[in-house]
Amino acid sequence: MSKHAGVVILAAIFFFAHLGSSRANDELSTYRVDDISIVRIADKKGGVPPEVFVGADKAMLEKVLHGGICPAMFLTFLINSPTDLILVDTGNGEARKGRTLDLLKQLGVSKEDITKILLTHMHGDHVQGLFSEESKAFPHADVYIEQSEYRFWTDRRNIARAPSGMTSCFDNAEKLSRLYKDKIHLFTAGEKILPWLSSVAMPGHTEGHSGFLLAKGGKSILLAGDFLHCLSVQTPYPDVAVIWDSDQDLAKSTRKAILERVADTDTIVLGGHFANPGAVLFKKTNGTYSYEFVQPDAN
């Protein structure tokens, strides 16, 4: 990729990451699956600018976004089960003004209480919160990450295969392996992590990008990471990729496969960047996907 493309990517990441904090009433919302609650935590507000879309028709973007950006969020999720307090992704962390730790406190949860951390992938906006400067932000947590994802980012020979501007992901992976050492658990995509919680293979955005499916008592929720960044653009046009995808063609086929799997089912989907209110049911009509927002069970 050209030097110019690298500059564009860095600029876009900066833009994506720094749009200020979200409004208080949008910060925490709760969904339930049987006796398990899932709290959607607004780590930070963001937005996806039109220049990051790849393969999008300009007129379509103009029509959907009206010349603006696609609203988006940086999100983490707290899963509260009878046996575990699990955090899915850790957000931007102190260094990038992520709010996850503050919002956990508001929920009465301390960083010591988190027993497991599940990572969808190694991009900074999902893993920076693992660290408090040079120590673990979550001292008692076991960290779960898909094995090919971990191996990719812990091997600096892969720098040339990653999108430009992502060398910090290799630094984060090195820090993860050093600080969390024997607390790291590598899983294979699709593997069950708990009886009611399975990983779901979603490669393309990164090497081993994974979602997590919670299913219990006839209800299910899919925590879908970054398989789709902008609902209004990439739901009707799943062939539109983003510059942050490691393998744009694979990301497209994953997006279409996941949409096909969940469309017209009762599975509620929560994405890592979906705009508020942030939970959706996908539909398919005459071959075109659409979505409806689902209101939370409690705020």
Contacts to Zn ion by CB under 5 A: 125, 226
Based on CB atoms, which residue is closest to Zn ion, 226 or 247?
A: 226
Name which of 227, 12, 10 is nearest 126 in CA terms. 227
Based on CB atoms, which residue is closest to Zn ion, 43 or 125?
A: 125
DSSP 176: H
Cβ 139 to Zn ion shortest distance, Å: 25
The DSSP line for 229-244 is: S-HHHHTT-TT-EETT
**How many angstroms separate the CA atoms of 179 and 122, rounded?**
15
Based on CB atoms, which residue is closest to Zn ion, 96 or 283?
A: 96
Cβ 298 to Zn ion shortest distance, Å: 26
Based on CB atoms, which residue is closest to Zn ion, 33 or 200?
A: 200
Based on CB atoms, which residue is closest to Zn ion, 81 or 172?
A: 172
Cβ 286 to Zn ion shortest distance, Å: 31
Cβ 98 to Zn ion shortest distance, Å: 12
Cβ 293 to Zn ion shortest distance, Å: 20
Return the beta strands (E) in the chain as ranges: 28-33, 36-48, 53-54, 70-80, 85-88, 116-118, 131-132, 135-136, 142-146, 184-187, 192-194, 197-201, 210-216, 219-223, 241-242, 268-270, 279-285, 288-293
CB-CB contact of 33 with 220 (8 Å): yes
CB-CB contact of 199 with 190 (8 Å): yes
Cβ 65 to Zn ion shortest distance, Å: 19
**Closest chain position to Zn ion (CB):** 226
CB-CB contact of 149 with 209 (8 Å): yes
Based on CB atoms, which residue is closest to Zn ion, 116 or 123?
A: 123
Q: Is 171 in a helix, a strand, or coil? A: helix
